C-alpha cells in the first residue's frame, strides 16, 4: 500500500457539496480548526474559520485547491472565498440548466437519473431515527494493491486450473504463501476473497510458487502451484471524488468498492463460518436447538453503501439453520421418517429418504478420514443384494463380483447390521462409492435448507428470527464491536480505514394516510378513514363492488378422512359463508354444486384430473369459483392449481377444514373478500385519485419479477412474471402473464411481449391504450441496473411502440433484499415513514419507505430507486403515490410493505413455479393427448420431483384464456 501522508485515522477529506467533480483535490489548509456543518440532505461539509456559513450556499464550492495558499489572513480569506463561491455557483447553475433530467452515460447508454430535488417535504409527523448504517472513515491518499491469484494442483492441466480446488484448500495455500513470503505483516495486511483476488496494504512477491498442504494429520499432503500477479492499484481518492460529486461527474468505482468489501469481510471470514454472503458463529453450542439434528444460528450480514454522508457499512443480523454431527439413521428418525429395519424399503419410502438426504454432506465412520462426501442418491437395492466389481488378478478378466456385506467384512472388519437398508451413493469423479447408512454421519455445521424443516422446527425458527426492534438494535451494535465482527483485529489499522461504532441518525417523515371508499349497509358510497395503525374493517360495511356468484361449487377433500383429519361441516359452513358474503354486498348462491372426495386423490394427478373433469361435465355452465377444503397443507395443491388454471379454466379457493369449522367472522370475511376479487369485484378504492396524477391521461401500473429455483437446483427454469392494472382511475384490478426462461436468468427475456399483451388487455377494457406507464421492477441489485435500463426498458419501448403510440415511462426498482433497518425508541416506525436523506445515494433518485405496520419483529422498509422518469416526478409526488397504492392490495385491510404491482408479480411468479413443479412431477409429455393422460407412480405428489425436465418452454401449459384477465392469483 502506498501512503501519501496519512493524517490520522479519523480524517475525512470532505469537499463542499457544490464542488461537482471538477476539483479532484482537497485543500489541506482547512483541515485544522474547521467548523463542521451539514447541508439539507445530511451531507457533511466544512466551512473555513472566518467564512460565514449563512453567507455561502450549500450547493457552491467554497474554495478550489489550486488557489489555496494565496490568502494571507482570515479576513481576506473570507472576502475572496465569498466572491469565489458566487462565481462558481453561477457557473454551476448554468451547467446544471443544460443537463437533461434523463441523461445518458459516456457510452451513450441510459444511466440512472439524478434526484430532482433535495428530497420530499410532505409530512404529518417527523421522527429522528437510528439506522444500522455505520460511517466509514478512510485516508483518500491510500492506494490498495489488487493481485490476481491462480491455484491449481500440480497434476492439473492449465485449462483446469483452480476449477477443482475447494475454497478450503485455496485458503490453506494462500496462508502458506503469506507465512513463507511475508511472515511479518502478510496476514494482517491482506484480504482474500476466497477465489482469485488478494488485496494488500503492502507489496507482495509475484511469480509462481509451489506448496504442499493438507487439511489434517490423517490426510495426504497435496502439492499446489500458486501464481500471483499485480493487476491494479486502487486509489481511494477516486472513491472520495465519487462520494462528493453532486451530479454524477465521476463513474461509480466498482473495483474499489469490491476491494473494500473484501477487506471489511476479512475478519468475519477468518473468525466465523461463511455461507453465501453471511457469517455465522463457530460455537454451535451457543445456538438455538430446533431438534436433535438441526440447530439455528444468528449470523452477520454486511455491505458497503455509498451514501450522502459518505461511505457506510450496513450491518444486520440473520438467522439460518445447520446440521449437528449426528448419524444418518438418527437424523432420519429426528425428521419423523420412521423406518422398518426388518423389511426392504418400499418405493415411496425410498423416495422420501432420498429426498431428505440428497446433497447433504456426510463423513464415514468405518475408516479414519476427514473427507466429506455429498450424498448423490440412494441405491435402489438393499445392502443385502448390492454387488459391484473389484480388481482381482487371480481371475481371467481381472475383476470379480463382490457383495457389499462381504466387502466391508473382509476389508474393514465391519458387520452391517441393517442389511435391508440401501447404501448411500457417495460416488464422485467417476469413481463408485457405496456406503451403508449406518456408517455415515452428517457433517457438522453444514447449511440445512429452511424449506426442508418440518413444521415444529419452522415454528421454532420463526420465534428466533422475529426480534423486537430494541433487541435487534442491541444485537447489531454488539456485532459491530465484536472481536469476530467486521471491525476486529488489526486489519483496519494496516489499511488505514475505520468505522464509527454508532448508528447513523436520520430524519424520517411520516406521510399521511389516504381516505378510502366503500359502502354502508344502505349501499351508499361512504368515506372510510383507517385507524392509528392504518387498518380498517368491514364491520357493518360493504365492499365497493360486490359481484354476483350464482355458479360456485365445493370439492370437499376433507370428507372421507382416513388420516385423522377434521372433515368440514359442509352445511353450517355454506350457510355461514353465504350470510357473511351477503352482509358484505356479495351475492353468493346458497345452493352450490357439491362433490365429495378425499386427500388421497391429491396424491395422484390422474385421479385428480378425472374428478375435475367430472365436475365440468356435471355442471351445465362453468363454475365461477370452486372452493376446495383440505384437512391440511398438501403437495397436491400445486397439481390442483395447474389443472384448474391451465387446462380447465376454473378459479379455485382452498381452505383448511379445521379452521373453516370455527366459523369465525373475521375468517369468513377474509374468505369472502378473496372470492369477490377472484370473480372480478372490488373491495375498496381510494377516495381520491392517486396523488401526483392529476391530468386526464390514462395511466397503467406494471410490476415485474423473476422467481429462481432453489440454490441446489442448477438446471430448473426461472419464472418471469408481469402484473399490470387494467382499470383507470381506480387502478386496483390486475391481469398477469408469466414465462419460463433459462436457469437463473435475471433479465426478463420476453418483458416487452408480456407488457404488450397487457396493454392490449387494458385497451379492450378501457377503449383506449394507456398513455403513461409506471413500471416497478423487483429482484435486481445495483449491479443489474444497467441491464434493466438498457436491455429490459429498451425491449419494452421497442415492442410496445407502434405508429402513433409511444407512451411515456417511469421505471422504479423496488428492493426488499437489503439490510437497512430503522429504529425508533423501543418500537417500530409508523406506516408511511420515508427517509430520503443522509442514508440514500449521493445524487441518484432513491428513498426508503416503510408503508406497513410492523406488529411482529422489526419493520423492514422497501428501497425504491428511480432509474428512469419521463413524467418529471418530484420526491413528494412519487413517495405519496407509492404509499397510497399500498392501501389498494386486495388481500388485506391494511397497507402492505411493497407496492402492489410488484407484490402481485411476485405472487404470479411463485404460482408459475408451482405449475412447473407440478408439471415436472406429473410426468407430463407434450406428445400425450391430455395434460395428465398417463398415470404413473412418479406422479405421486408426496415424492420428490426432478430438479429439471428437458422440455420445450413453448410446450409448457399456458394459463387458460378465461383466466388471463382476472385476479385468479389473489
885-904 pLDDT, tens per residue? Answer: 999 999 999 999 999 999 99
Q: What is the pLDDT of residues 183-199, one digit of tens each?
A: 878 789 999 999 999 99
pLDDT (tens digit per residue) in 341-373: 889 999 889 989 999 999 999 999 999 888 899
The pLDDT score that the predictor gives to residue 429 is 84
Average pLDDT over residues 159-178: 81
pLDDT digits (tens, 9 = 90+) for 96-118: 433 335 556 667 899 999 999 99
Q: Which CATH number fits domain 328-443: 3.40.50.2300, 2.60.40.3080, 3.40.50.1820, 2.170.260.10?
A: 2.170.260.10
**Per-residue pLDDT at 464:** 85
Looking at 132-146, 275-289, 584-598, which range is the least confident one?
275-289
56 pLDDT more than 50: no
Cα torsion 800, 803, 807, 808 to 10°: value is 110
pLDDT at 902: 98
Cell of 445: 455445521
What angle (nearest 5°) sits at the alpha carbon of residue 593, between those of residues 592 and 597? 125
Average pLDDT over residues 70-82: 39
CATH of the structural domain 688-911, one choice from 3.30.420.10, 3.40.50.970, 3.40.190.10, 1.10.10.10: 3.30.420.10
DSSP letters, 17-47, are GGGTTT--S--GGGSSS-EEEE-TTS-EEEE
What are 458's three cell numbers? 419452522
DSSP 102: S
pLDDT band at 49 (very low <50, low <70, confident <90, very high): very low
Contacts 24+ apart (CB under 8 A), 853-857: 853/533, 853/534, 853/535, 853/828, 853/894, 853/895, 854/828, 854/829, 856/466, 857/465, 857/466, 857/467, 857/468, 857/472
Q: Give yes or no for residue 245 having a pLDDT over 50.
A: yes
Query: What percentage of the chain has pLDDT greater than the value 70?
Result: 84
Average of pLDDT values for 475-489? 92
| Cell numbers standing for residue 19 | 464542488
Answer for the pair 824, 127: CB distance below 8 angstroms, yes or no. yes
Q: What angle do CA 568, 571, 576 make, to 5 degrees?
A: 95
Q: What is the pLDDT of residue 50?
A: 33
Lowest mean pLDDT among 283-287, 745-749, 959-963: 283-287
pLDDT of residue 285: 57
Q: Is residue 377 pLDDT above 60, yes or no? A: yes
Choice among 21-30, 310-319, 350-359 with the minimum mean pLDDT: 21-30
pLDDT digits 0-9 by tens, 487-532: 977 899 999 999 999 999 999 999 999 999 999 999 999 999 999 9
Per cent of the chain over pLDDT 90 is: 70
What are the domain boundaries of the chain?
Answer: 1-91, 138-324+462-502, 328-443, 546-681, 688-911
Give CA separation, 527 vs 546, 672, 870, 885, in Å: 17, 21, 33, 17
Closest CA to 325 of 286, 285, 298: 285
Nearest residue to 970 (alpha-carbon basis) of 566, 625, 500, 509: 625
CB 357 within 8 A of CB 441: no
| CA dihedral for 642, 643, 649, 654, sign (positive or negative) | negative
Grid coordinates representing 629 are: 377444503
Mean pLDDT of 720-735: 98
Examine domains 546-681 and 688-911 and report if their fold is the same: no
Q: What's the CATH number of domain 546-681, 3.40.50.2300, 3.30.720.200, 3.20.20.70, 3.40.50.150? A: 3.40.50.2300
Average pLDDT taken over every residue of the chain: 86
DSSP letter (8 states) at residue 146:
E
pLDDT (tens digit per residue) in 127-168: 999 999 999 999 999 999 999 999 999 875 555 444 578 888
Per-residue pLDDT averaged across 586-609, rounded? 95
Closest by CA to 220, choosing from 444, 373, 370, is 370
What's the Cα-to-Cα distance from 30 to each of 26, 53, 68, rounded to whole Å? 9, 14, 9
pLDDT at 8 exceeding the cut of 50: no
pLDDT over threshold 90, residue 41: no
Long-range CB pairs of 693-696, under 8 A, 24+ apart, other chains included: 693/729, 693/881
Q: Which three cell numbers stand for residue 303?
A: 455491505
pLDDT tier, 19 (very low <50, low <70, confident <90, very high otherwise): very low
Amino acid at each position: 500500500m502506498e501512503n501519501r501522508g496519512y493524517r490520522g485515522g479519523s480524517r475525512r477529506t470532505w469537499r463542499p457539496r457544490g464542488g461537482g467533480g471538477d476539483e479532484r483535490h482537497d485543500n489541506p489548509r482547512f483541515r485544522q480548526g474547521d467548523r463542521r456543518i451539514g447541508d439539507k440532505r445530511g451531507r457533511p461539509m466544512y466551512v473555513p474559520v472566518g467564512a460565514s456559513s449563512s453567507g455561502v450556499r450549500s450547493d457552491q464550492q467554497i474554495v478550489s485547491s489550486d488557489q489555496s495558499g494565496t490568502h494571507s489572513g482570515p479576513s481576506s480569506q473570507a472576502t475572496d472565498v465569498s466572491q469565489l463561491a458566487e462565481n462558481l455557483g453561477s457557473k454551476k447553475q448554468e451547467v446544471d440548466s443544460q443537463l437533461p433530467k434523463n441523461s445518458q452515460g459516456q457510452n451513450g447508454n441510459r444511466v440512472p437519473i439524478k434526484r430532482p430535488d433535495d428530497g420530499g417535504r410532505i409530512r404529518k409527523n417527523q421522527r429522528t431515527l437510528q439506522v444500522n448504517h455505520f460511517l466509514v472513515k478512510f485516508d483518500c491518499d491510500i492506494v490498495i494493491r489488487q493481485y490476481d491469484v491462480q491455484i491449481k494442483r500440480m497434476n492439473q492441466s492449465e485449462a483446469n486450473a483452480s476449477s477443482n480446488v475447494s475454497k478450503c484448500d485455496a485458503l490453506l495455500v494462500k496462508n502458506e504463501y503469506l507465512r513463507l513470503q511475508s511472515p511479518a505483516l502478510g496476514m494482517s495486511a491482506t484480504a482474500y476473497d476466497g477465489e482469485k483476488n488478494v488485496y494488500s496494504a503492502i507489496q507482495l512477491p509475484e511469480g509462481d510458487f509451489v506448496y504442499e498442504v493438507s487439511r489434517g494429520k490423517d490426510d495426504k499432503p497435496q502439492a499446489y502451484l500458486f501464481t500471483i500477479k499485480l493487476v491494479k492499484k486502487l486509489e481511494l481518492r477516486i472513491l472520495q471524488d465519487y462520494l462528493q460529486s453532486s451530479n454524477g461527474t465521476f463513474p461509480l468505482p466498482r473495483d474499489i468498492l469490491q476491494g473494500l468489501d473484501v477487506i471489511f469481510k476479512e475478519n468475519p471470514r477468518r473468525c466465523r463460518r461463511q455461507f453465501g454472503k453471511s457469517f455465522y458463529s463457530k460455537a454451535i453450542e451457543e445456538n438455538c436447538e430446533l431438534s436433535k439434528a438441526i440447530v439455528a444460528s444468528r449470523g452477520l450480514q454486511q455491505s458497503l453503501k455509498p451514501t450522502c454522508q459518505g461511505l457506510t457499512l450496513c450491518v444486520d443480523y440473520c438467522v439460518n439453520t445447520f446440521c449437528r454431527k449426528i448419524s444418518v439413521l438418527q437424523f432420519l428418525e429426528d425428521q419423523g421418517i420412521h423406518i422398518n429395519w426388518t423389511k426392504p424399503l418400499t418405493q415411496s419410502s425410498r423416495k422420501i429418504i432420498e429426498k431428505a438426504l440428497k446433497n447433504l454432506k456426510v463423513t464415514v465412520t468405518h475408516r479414519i478420514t476427514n473427507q466429506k462426501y455429498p450424498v448423490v442418491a440412494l441405491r435402489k437395492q438393499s445392502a443385502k443384494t448390492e454387488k459391484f466389481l473389484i480388481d482381482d488378478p487371480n481371475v481371467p478378466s481381472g475383476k470379480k463380483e463382490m457383495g457389499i456385506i462381504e466387502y466391508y467384512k473382509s476389508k474393514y472388519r465391519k458387520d452391517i447390521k441393517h442389511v435391508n437398508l440401501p447404501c448411500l451413493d457417495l460416488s464422485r469423479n467417476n469413481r463408485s462409492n457405496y456406503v451403508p447408512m449406518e456408517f455415515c454421519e452428517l457433517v457438522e455445521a453444514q447449511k440445512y435448507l429452511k424449506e426442508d424443516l418440518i413444521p415444529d422446527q419452522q415454528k421454532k425458527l420463526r420465534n428466533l428470527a422475529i426480534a423486537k426492534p430494541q433487541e435487534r438494535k442491541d444485537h447489531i451494535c454488539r456485532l459491530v464491536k465484536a472481536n469476530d465482527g467486521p471491525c476486529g483485529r488489526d486489519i483496519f489499522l494496516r489499511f488505514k480505514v475505520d468505522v464509527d461504532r454508532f448508528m447513523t441518525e436520520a430524519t424520517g417523515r411520516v406521510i399521511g394516510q389516504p381516505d378510502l371508499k366503500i359502502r354502508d349497509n344502505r349501499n351508499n358510497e361512504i368515506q372510510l378513514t383507517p385507524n392509528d395503525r392504518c387498518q380498517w374493517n368491514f364491520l357493518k360495511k360493504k365492499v365497493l363492488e360486490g359481484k354476483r356468484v350464482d355458479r360456485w361449487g365445493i370439492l370437499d377433500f376433507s370428507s372421507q378422512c382416513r388420516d385423522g383429519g377434521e372433515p368440514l361441516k359442509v352445511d353450517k359452513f355454506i350457510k355461514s359463508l353465504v350470510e357473511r358474503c351477503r352482509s358484505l354486498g356479495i351475492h353468493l348462491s346458497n345452493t352450490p354444486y357439491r362433490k365429495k372426495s378425499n386427500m388421497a386423490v391429491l396424491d395422484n394427478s390422474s385421479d385428480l384430473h378425472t374428478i375435475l373433469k367430472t365436475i365440468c361435465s356435471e355442471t351445465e355452465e362453468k363454475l365461477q369459483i370452486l372452493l376446495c377444503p383440505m384437512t391440511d397443507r398438501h403437495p397436491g395443491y400445486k397439481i390442483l392449481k395447474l389443472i384448474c388454471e391451465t387446462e380447465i379454466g376454473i378459479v379455485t379457493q382452498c381452505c383448511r377444514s379445521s379452521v373453516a369449522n370455527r366459523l369465525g367472522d373475521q375468517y369468513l370475511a377474509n374468505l369472502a373478500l378473496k372470492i369477490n376479487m377472484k370473480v372480478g369485484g372490488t373491495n375498496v378504492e381510494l377516495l381520491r385519485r392517486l396523488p401526483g396524477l392529476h391530468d386526464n391521461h390514462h395511466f397503467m401500473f406494471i410490476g415485474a419479477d423473476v422467481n429462481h429455483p432453489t440454490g441446489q437446483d442448477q438446471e430448473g427454469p426461472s419464472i418471469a412474471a408481469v402484473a399490470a392494472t387494467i382499470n383507470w382511475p381506480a387502478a386496483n384490478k390486475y391481469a398477469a402473464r408469466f414465462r419460463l426462461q433459462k436457469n437463473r436468468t435475471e433479465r426478463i427475456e420476453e418483458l416487452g411481449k408480456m407488457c404488450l399483451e397487457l396493454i392490449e388487455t387494458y385497451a379492450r377494457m378501457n377503449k383506449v391504450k394507456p398513455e403513461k406507464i409506471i413500471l416497478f421492477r423487483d429482484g435486481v441489485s445495483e449491479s443489474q441496473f444497467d441491464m434493466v435500463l438498457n436491455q429490459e426498458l429498451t425491449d419494452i419501448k421497442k415492442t410496445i411502440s407502434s405508429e402513433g403510440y409511444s407512451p411515456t415511462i417511469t421505471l422504479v426498482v423496488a428492493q426488499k433484499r437489503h439490510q437497512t433497518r430503522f429504529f425508533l425508541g423501543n418500537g417500530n416506525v409508523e406506516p408511511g415513514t420515508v427517509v430520503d436523506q443522509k442514508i440514500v445515494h449521493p445524487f441518484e433518485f432513491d428513498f426508503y419507505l416503510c408503508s406497513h405496520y410492523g406488529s411482529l419483529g422489526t419493520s423492514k422498509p422497501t428501497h425504491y430507486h428511480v432509474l428512469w422518469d419521463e413524467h418529471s416526478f418530484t420526491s413528494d409526488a412519487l413517495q405519496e403515490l407509492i404509499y397510497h397504492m399500498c392501501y389498494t392490495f386486495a388481500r388485506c385491510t391494511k397497507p402492505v410493505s411493497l407496492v402492489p404491482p410488484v407484490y402481485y408479480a411476485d405472487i404470479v411468479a411463485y404460482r408459475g413455479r408451482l405449475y412447473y413443479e407440478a408439471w415436472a412431477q406429473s410426468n407430463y409429455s407434450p406428445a400425450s393427448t391430455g395434460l395428465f393422460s398417463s398415470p404413473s407412480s412418479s406422479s405421486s405428489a408426496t415424492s420428490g420431483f426432478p430438479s429439471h425436465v428437458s422440455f420445450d418452454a413453448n410446450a409448457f401449459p399456458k394459463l387458460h384464456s378465461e383466466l388471463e384477465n382476472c385476479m385468479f392469483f389473489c
